[in-house]
């Protein structure tokens, strides 16, 4: 390989390095998260101690609340995905459709299903103390399973 070839190869590698690095930092410059180029915003926001959680719960005949699993709610094992699906359904006015979808996957003892947003004091909740601040019900339905 001659000197000119080596120089052109180096130049090309320098250019590729610059383009790749620019691409990697570009989401921050554009303030836009994507994949695989990202601003890496996970846990970046400040988090208050009282937080709203969209979720789906079951009720037994005596009114007792039953927490449903991620698999029952959103057919996933990832809490982030599960939360996003419930959140999306509520935001897009599809809470009833989500309720009907979950209705086929709940335990036998459940007689009613509710799509809700619950606001909790998360520090109290993790400490095992009363944490529910308020609660909004978006849709209700009965099990179909």
Partner 1 sequence: MTGRDLALGVRIDSWLFEPAPAERLAVLRILVGAFSVTYLAVRLPVFLALAERQGQLDPVGLLWWLAEPLSSGLVVAWVIAMLVVGVAFTAGVAPRASGPCFAVGVALAATYRSSWGQVLWLENLMVLQLLIVAFSANADAWAASRRTERPPTEPSAAYGWPVRLAALVTVATYVLAGVTKLRVGGLDWMLGDTLRNHIAYSAARLELFGEASSPLSRSVVQLGSWLRPFAVLAVLIELAAPVALVGGRLRTTWTVLAWTMHAAIAALLFVVFPFPLAGVAFACFYRLEHLPGSVRRLPAQLRSLGRGGTPTNPIGGPASW
Residue numbers at the binding site for partner 1 (CB under 8 A): 10, 13-14, 16-17, 20-21, 24-25, 27-28, 33-49, 51, 53, 55, 67-70, 72-73, 75-85, 88, 92, 118, 120, 122-123, 125-128, 131
Query: Of the two residues 47 and 62, which places its CB atom closer to partner 1 in the complex?
Result: 47
Rounded Cα distance between 38 and 18, Å, is: 17
Distances (CA, A) of 16 to 2, 20, 30, 38, 64: 21, 6, 20, 19, 61
Q: Rounded to the nearest whole angstrom, what is the least distance from the CB of residue 123 to partner 1 in the complex?
A: 5
Q: CB 5 → partner 1: shortest distance, Å?
A: 12
Q: Which is nearer to partner 1, 126 or 142 (CB)?
A: 126
Closest distance of CB 3 from partner 1, Å: 14
How far apart, in whole angstroms, are the C-alpha atoms of residue 26 and residue 113?
A: 44
What sign for the dihedral angle of Cα 103, 104, 106, 111?
positive
Sheet bearing 110-121, strands edge to edge: 65-67, 50-60, 110-121, 132-141
Q: Which is nearer to partner 1, 79 or 142 (CB)?
A: 79
């Amino acid at each position: 390989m001659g000197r000119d070839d080596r120089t052109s190869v180096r130049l090309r590698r320098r250019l590729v390095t610059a383009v790749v690095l620019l691409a990697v930092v570009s989401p921050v410059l554009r303030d836009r998260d994507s994949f695989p180029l990202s601003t890496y915003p996970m846990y970046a926001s400040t988090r208050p101690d009282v937080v709203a959680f969209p979720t789906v719960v079951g009720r037994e005949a005596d009114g007792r609340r039953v927490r449903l699993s991620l698999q029952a709610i959103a057919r996933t094992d990832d809490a982030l995905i599960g939360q996003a699906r419930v959140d999306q359904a509520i935001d897009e006015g599809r809470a009833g459709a989500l309720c009907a979808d979950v209705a086929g996957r709940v335990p036998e003892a459940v007689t009613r299903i509710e799509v809700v947003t619950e606001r909790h004091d998360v520090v109290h909740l993790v400490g095992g103390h009363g944490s529910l601040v308020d609660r909004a019900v978006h849709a209700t339905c009965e099990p179909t399973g």
